[in-house]
Amino acid sequence: MRAIIFDYYETLAQLHEPPRQRMFDGIARDVGHQLAPGEAYQQWIEHTSGDWNLRFGVSHNARPATDGEPFEFRTFWDSWRERFGELFQFWGVEAGGELGADAYTALHIEAELYPEVRDTLRKLGRSCRLAVLSNADDAFLQGSIAKNGLTFETVVSSEELNVYKPHVSIFRETCERMGIQPSEALYVGDTPWADVEGSRNAGMGQAWINRHDAAWPDDIEPPQHTITSLTDLVSLVG
């Protein structure tokens, strides 16, 4: 194992529901729409149930393909702008979707690291090369990494390559940039299909980080490794 490649959000950085709710409460106030605390975010969840369709060309209950011709690419910001426009229309307010897209970008930049991340990355960096591969726009991924003072050998975003995980091309391109074979890398992420199945199909090792005691889907082959904290990686690759 020569390299560990990490997903970023909900693997290294956390975006829990309370800060999301506060952001959406603020947006509702900014556009003059009165809602109970937390209600704006719940309505957002309902209105974004088709986001996979927006970015991957599949229905909300289907999964994006891991290979083949990638679907026409759209950034998160563009998807968010469209969804916020729909939400504002549902609220009956006159506001552009870019207001919400900009706010959500800022929230992603401000994402805090999980408590064990800094120390674990320092320990892992003694014996392994470290990289990040994330479904993210450059603006908020690079912004959050810089804000948190992290340094990686390689950082790859979906926006840079115009393709999203789980497509195998984004995993293989990251390995190629590092000058390694996929079999020499372990991918660590929190999403069974995008992270585990995607990296597996690309020929990489897989570690699923299950911080919140989630159930593994019955119709996906289990990962090589399941961890509950990044600290588990130290003994795993030591």
Per-residue confidence of the chain (238 residues) as pLDDT tens digits? 899 999 999 999 999 889 999 999 999 999 999 999 999 999 999 888 767 666 666 666 678 888 888 878 999 999 999 999 999 999 999 999 999 999 999 999 999 999 999 999 999 999 999 999 999 999 999 999 999 999 999 999 999 999 999 999 999 999 999 999 999 999 999 999 999 999 999 999 999 999 999 999 999 999 999 999 999 999 988 7
Task: Report the alpha-carbon angle 59-139-152, nearest 5.
Answer: 100
Same-domain status, 55 and 166: no
Q: Do β-strands 129-134 and 112-113 pair in parallel, antiparallel, or remain unpaired?
A: unpaired
**Greatest alpha-carbon span in the chain:** 56
Instruction: Identify the domain containing residue 58 by its residue range.
Output: 17-109
Claim to verify: residue 206 and residue 94 sit in the same structural domain: no
Residues 160 and 216 occupy one common structural domain: yes
Out of 87, 109, 131, pick the residue that ends a domain. 109
Distance of CA 30 to the CA centre of its chain: 27
**171 & 233 share domain:** yes
Domain count, the chain: 2
- Please check whether residues 65 and 128 belong to one and the same domain: no
Enter the pTM of the model.
Answer: 0.94
| Together in a domain, 119 and 136 | yes
- For residues 10 and 127, membership in a common domain is answered with yes
